[in-house]
Structures are given as C-alpha cells and as structure tokens.
Homo-oligomer: A and B are copies of this chain.
Amino acid sequence: MSEDSHMHCCNDADDTDLADLRERIAQAVRDVKAQTPLAQSFTNFVTINLVANAQLAAGGTAAMSFLPDDVIDTASISGADYINVGTLLPFYKDALPQIARAFHKTGHKWVLDPVAAGIGKTRTEILCAFRAVPPTIVRGNASEIIALATMWGLISPDEASRPAGVESVDEVDAAVEPARKLATFLAQSAPDGKAAVAVSGKVDLVTDGDQIYRLTGGSALMAKITGAGCSLGGVTATYLAVAEPLVAALAASLLYNRAGEIAEAKAEGPGSFQVHLLDALWNLTPEQVAASDIR
C-alpha cells in the first residue's frame, strides 16, 4: 500500500485537498522567509533564547516581553504572539490574563503553550482565566492538552483520567478527542472561526476541530535538548503571522520534524544536535517542508 493511500485511510482529505494544503504550507514557509514577520513571545526563562533563535532561523523576527505595557504596545506591530506559562513569576498572575484580554479585544492572534498544565495553583488560575479570552492555537504534549481541556470543562474528568505523562504513540491517541474538542472551542471564539491544536509526541497530531492530521518522523534527540517544544510553539506563532491556524500549526510541526531528522543524522550528541537543528531550520526549503508525510 502506498503512502498516498495511507493518507486516504487516515483522514478524509482527498488528493486535491491534500495538494492544496501542501501548497498553502509551502506558501507559509515562503512568506515567512520573504516577509520576516515579527512574532512576540512571553515565554519561560529556560528556553527563551532558543525560541528567539528558532524564530529567526525559520525566517521571522523575534521580540520578547513581560510587562503588559510592553507586550500590548509591541503586539500592535507583531503578526502574532506566543505565550508559554513555564517559569511563572508572581506578577504573571495578573499580567497574563490582562494581556490575553487585550489580545481578545483587538482580535490579535496568539499561540498558547500550556507547559506543565496541572502543576501549581497559580498556573491553574492563569490557564483557567484564558478560557474567556482564548488563544488561536494551543500547542503542547498530550498530558498538557488533556489537562487544559479538562480545566476548561471540555472533556469529563473520566476522559481525563487516562494515563498521561509518558511520551508515546498511545498518549497522543489519548489526546485526539481532547484536542479536537479544544480546537472546536477555540474556533468558536476566533473572529474568523479558525483555530488549531497541535499535540507533540512520537507522532504529532494537528487538528482544526474538524480534520485530524498525524505527522511522523522527527528525532528522539528532540527530547534530549530543552526547548524543542517551546521553540516549536514560537515558530508556530511566526507562521501564524502569515497563515491561517491549521496551516501554521502544520508548517511548524513539519519543519521541526524534518529539521530534527537532518540534525540527528549529523549530531554526535545533544550539544551538536541543537546547533544542527538551528542550521536545518534555516536551510530547509518551502518545498521540502510541504512534501512531508501528512496522514
């Protein structure tokens, strides 16, 4: 059975739809390289440097801010924003909801990375506050997606009680329904009705609430550097500055999987892997990204 027929089996897109999707993915990658759009980030201190460098390597421009007046001012010139709730500081409890409300008011697009969702009272309060003013895209691992969908009352605690926390194909499968319901909820809040959820794992899953796409490949070394997921979230915001949510989420995840494979082939360990990863993000062409396996 060919790869093409595999694509038929796993989602309802026919060849024409998929060819069209591939062209829109290629266009997003191309547009970022041509337009160097600014995506602003409010992100954790561990991987903030890699997020900026990955956005630059993908062809975009980066700015990082934490004060609401900075963030809201900069959002007026940024194509999309990225918010990652790692390494919280006390003032974030008020600042993050305030920023999300400002984005919501102006219809500004943003990507949420609900890092460590479920850990810590303050993080839970912040994530719950986002429900009323939700992001355009959520990107996380399966546990985080399930935890967020549960917090927001989109799935029952029963559905949420499945085992989580281990990276595996099964875990991504466990997140299919939570991810789809989350994407549907986000889309209902979006000014243009469009949103997406991306679940990172051994197999990645991307959905707009309707179609489900599974992306294979990548590298196991991704989990041996800090910030692979965070910087993928940042690059998703970079693509969101030029493309619609589903295309942005797919383009970023495909770019990362291809770059991971190239970097792994050249690396002698996690140190050189990160160096080659940034080089590969820079060197991959729109056509290489769009030709990837999508099921």
Partner of A271, one of B73, B226, B277: B277
Are B87 and A66 closer than 8 Å at their CB atoms? Answer: yes
| B271 with A279: CB separation less than 8 A | yes
Q: Size range of the interface on A?
A: 35 or more
Asked if B283 contacts A279 (CB within 8 A), the reply is no
A86: B residues at CB distance < 8 A: 64
A41-98 CB contacts (< 8 Å) to partner B: 44-50, 52-53, 56-57, 62-67, 69-70, 73-74, 86-91
Asked if A132 lies at the interface with its beta carbon under 8 angstroms from chain B, I say no
Q: How many copies does the complex hold?
A: 3
- Alpha-carbon distance between A78 and B240 when the two chains are bound, in angstroms: 36
Q: Is the CB of B70 within 8 A of A44?
A: no
Among B65, B69, B116, B274, point to the contact of A63 (Cβ < 8 A). B116
User: A interface vs B, CB < 8 Å?
Assistant: 44-50, 52-53, 56-57, 62-67, 69-70, 73-74, 86-91, 116, 119-123, 223-227, 267-272, 274-283
